[in-house]
Structure 1
Amino acid sequence: MTFAISGDCCSDASCVAVCPMNSIHPSPGEPGFGTGASLFIDPRTCIDCGACADICPVDAAKPADRSAAADVERNAAYFAEREVLEATDLDSWEPVSYEVWGGGPRRVLVVGAGPAGMYATRELLLRTTADITVVDRSPDLGGLVRFGVAPDHPQTKQIIGTFERLIRHPRVHWRPGTDAATLPRDRYDAVVHAVGARQSRRLGIPGEDAACTAEDFVAWYNGRPGAAAPAALVGPRAVVVGNGNVALDIARMLLSDEKQLRDMEVPREVRQVLATSGIKEVVLLGRRGPDQAAYTEPALQELLALADDRVELRYHARPTAWTSYGLTLDTSEVIAAGNLFTAIGFEGAPIDGLPFDPDRGIVPNVRGAVVGRPGHYVTGWIKRGARGGIGVNKACAQETVMTLVSASRAAASPGS
């Protein structure tokens, strides 16, 4: 019996490195890596060794006979028209070799304890002998995993267990609830900024201030400290502008009934508000066509399985105003609704003392090294923009830490 990967895949590619048959794709460097929700196992070459299941941090790799039929079919379909790859053919990517360099930085500050920061911490532990201080303004570890993943996806949140093991390492000093600006910069040889990009992008239409952004709504239903409840939810219809997985998460939460909400790990207040909202129908509005939709097939199927008769998918629809009557489109049509939610992507915010590109919402960098600020590095969404899932941060962090190590080596070389 072969193995299959489910839609809960975090795409951190740990399984790629341990597969003896090179059966898992797309691997880092291949087209499609980091753009979808899942990796896939080729049933034609899988030898049922279980190495992928042993290392998967979110239990997404399972024997095919214990996987959903749709997941098994999805894995097979990915390889249906692809050539069988030999086990020795590693394409454009090879597993990382961890050469520990003792002459590197002695003290490194990592700002942010979400996936980007924790993968960077892991790489620093593997590649250097440095003491690592990890800070986060939140009192909780996990960042996007804890407060961004929908509460009906508990398997994805299991990766927090990996992060907890990292902060217990004797060379890691975990300082939750700490503002990095309060720490003296001269105590550290390098700073890795992994602060993410959680600000919601704006539509730029009249009345938008009365809408609820993905940033605020997702933080609220995940119980992030300080997150405020949305304005009164008014049924029977809500409009969600956006065609990514976050938009689908919002729709799924709005349409979950009381029993489904009881099975989720959400605050009681959230459960009560959603269960009594009266919202029975959601219009998912895409400004582009279905071919440009950013949601993944598993996410769409999950939503339709929950509420196929209560979800309307609209494409090529451009909002022009939000009023008490509903959402006006550029065709003059008004979609009557009690609430508007916007989920059109996220962008980073400037970091004190570092350059910032407002058009891309990132800190300008070369392979993670901040332009014009020696000793400062970035990883995650603040480095590459708000794209790619949780596991993509692993490859991103590897590149940044290799750049940091190379700079330390150059600085330590004679005549440098």
Structure 2
Amino acid sequence: MTYVVGGGCCSDASCVAVCPVNCIHPSPGEPDFGQTDGVFIDPQVCIDCGACAEACPVDAISPLDQLAADDHRIAANATFYTDNPDRRSDGGLASWGPPSFDAWTAAALPMKVAIVGAGPAGLYAARELLLRSTAEINLLDKLPHVGGLARYGVAPDHPDTRQIVGVLERVARHPRIHLRLGVEFGRDVDHAQLADSHDAVVYALGAPESRLTGMPGEDEAGSCSASDFVAWYNGHPRIDTCPVDLRGPRAVVVGNGNVAIDIARLLLSDPERLARAELGPAVRHALTAGEIREVVLLGRRGPDVAAYSESEFREIVGLPGVTTVVADAPGVGKAIEAGTGRAGLLTGVRREAVDLSADPLPGRRLVLRFGAAPQRWHDGTLDVSDGQPIRAGMLISAIGFHSPPVPGLPYSDGRIPQADGRVVGMTNTYVTGWLRRGSSGGLGHNRLCAEETVTALLSDASSRIALPVV
């Protein structure tokens, strides 16, 4: 009986490392790793050993016989290998690449390393250093708890994915890690101080700020950013009240990524579903008492390039008591019929003309509107590029995140310029996570990023000492 990877996959790739027959792909190092909805288990090669399920930090892997026959995850796993037959292994060891080892000198160096940021990126970097060196690590974060995005960004109705916080906490408790919480970089300590007292400094500050559309009225009443809204419902210490009145009956969420889907799903969830989510009492009360019964997901581009994952989409369209419709617009129907990219998920979803300038119909509804960019927010009206305004009680911009400049480091377009994790123009200074690659990839993708950065750090450390003559 094969195992199947479910929708909560975080792409941590721990399962890949323990699979004895190399039947889980895409794996780190393959071109499409991080570009698919998680990883997939080849049903023809899986030997039912269960090692992947034991290693999964978010309990996203289940035996096939525990799933319903029509569960979309079964088809998704099988389809990946039908479409990519070259990924099938022979079930033995021949498909594994040759092992590689760091220079032995790097492991024994008496290093002190500072890591700024105790979210997934920083803790994966710490984990790599613990496994591959004897380094002592000072781990700094301005928040009172470790976890970063895993703790304060994962939707509260996804408890399985939130389990990765426990994995990160165990790393932070290692005796070679010295945790310093409540320490803000740029206020309490700067780069010169860290560089003077450490052999290397790794920056893993993430991308905590929302990208904004820049349209007029975006900062007016009734409007807020996704970062503020997500921080509120996840109990982030920087915000304790809802940043926008939950006024209905309609809300607009600008964006077509997983965060936009998360926000829409919580706004449309019924009280019973909200009662099962990991929400604070005040947040749960506010969402339950809210007047939202229709959410418009406004995509600036077409349905074929929507950024949400298949599992997120299937979850929201499967919400009990919620109707999903696609607003008819030029080119949208043709894209759906072509079925390319994410547009294929919309096959079977009803398309209809929707008047969003009038009050919504009774009942709860999700409206997917594509190819329309927001132009101006004023007096409860969102002007849109296609000339069809939307009347709404609230507006949330969820078009992505970016990293602000880091004092003392180079900065360009939301990232730290780097090469293989080495900060350009600086010595013994490294970067990992979203601050390195931009706000792309889920929690587990930080693992591969950290491996590359730590490899560069250890290589540099080895080169600074003379190898013995043998």
Partners of 1:112 and 1:135 within 8 A in 2: yes
Equivalent position to 2:112, from 107, 111, 118 = 107
Does residue 316 of structure 1 match 2:329?
A: no
Does residue 157 of structure 1 match 2:162?
A: yes
For normalisation by structure 1, the TM-score amounts to 0.95
Equivalent position to 2:80, from 71, 74, 78 = 78
Secondary structure, in 3 states, of the residue corresponding to 1:108? strand
Give the Cα–Cα distance (whole angstroms) in 2 for the partners of residues 105 and 369 of structure 1.
20
% of aligned pairs identical? 51
Does residue 246 of structure 1 match 2:259?
A: yes
Which range is displaced more, 105-114 or 30-39? Answer: 30-39
Count of aligned residue pairs for this structure pair = 412
Does residue 272 of structure 1 match 2:285?
A: yes
1:117-266 equivalent positions in 2, closer than 5 A: 117-181=122-186, 182-183=188-189, 184-185=193-194, 186-210=196-220, 211-227=223-239, 228-266=241-279
Partners of 1:105 and 1:190 within 8 A in 2: no
Give the Cα–Cα distance (whole angstroms) in 2 for the partners of residues 99 and 37 of structure 1.
35
Secondary structure, in 3 states, of the residue corresponding to 1:344? coil
Cα displacement (A) at 1:99: 6.7
Cα displacement (A) at 1:270: 0.8
Runs of 4+ in 1 over 4 A off after TM superposition: 93-100
Give the Cα–Cα distance (whole angstroms) in 1 for the partners of residues 103 and 447 of structure 2.
17
Give the Cα–Cα distance (whole angstroms) in 2 for the partners of residues 89 and 383 of structure 1.
34
Q: Which runs of 5+ in 2 are unaligned?
A: 325-364
Cα displacement (A) at 1:86: 2.0
Larger-Rg structure: 2
Does residue 369 of structure 1 match 2:379?
A: no
Give the Cα–Cα distance (whole angstroms) in 1 for the partners of residues 440 and 467 of structure 2.
40
Cα displacement (A) at 1:198: 1.5
Partners of 2:249 and 2:393 within 8 A in 1: yes
Does residue 355 of structure 1 match 2:357?
A: no
Give the Cα–Cα distance (whole angstroms) in 1 for the partners of residues 397 and 314 of structure 2.
21
Cα displacement (A) at 1:90: 4.1
Cα displacement (A) at 1:65: 1.3
Secondary structure, in 3 states, of the residue corresponding to 2:395? strand
For normalisation by structure 2, the TM-score amounts to 0.84
Aligned-CA RMSD value? 1.8
Give the Cα–Cα distance (whole angstroms) in 1 for the partners of residues 8 and 84 of structure 2.
24
Does residue 17 of structure 1 match 2:22?
A: no
Give the Cα–Cα distance (whole angstroms) in 2 for the partners of residues 202 and 105 of structure 1.
45
Question: Could you say which residue in structure 2 is the equivalent of 1:30?
Answer: 30
In structure 2, the CA distance between the partners of 1:175 and 1:94, relative to structure 1 (3 Å rule), is: farther
Cα displacement (A) at 1:95: 7.2
Cα displacement (A) at 1:82: 2.8
Question: Could you say which residue in structure 2 is the equivalent of 1:383?
Answer: 436
In structure 2, the CA distance between the partners of 1:37 and 1:99, relative to structure 1 (3 Å rule), is: farther
Which range is displaced more, 99-108 or 74-83? Answer: 99-108
Partners of 1:6 and 1:67 within 8 A in 2: no
Query: Deviations along 1:48-80, whole A, 9 cap, x unmatched?
Result: 011101111111111011235221222112222
Give the Cα–Cα distance (whole angstroms) in 2 for the partners of residues 325 and 139 of structure 1.
37
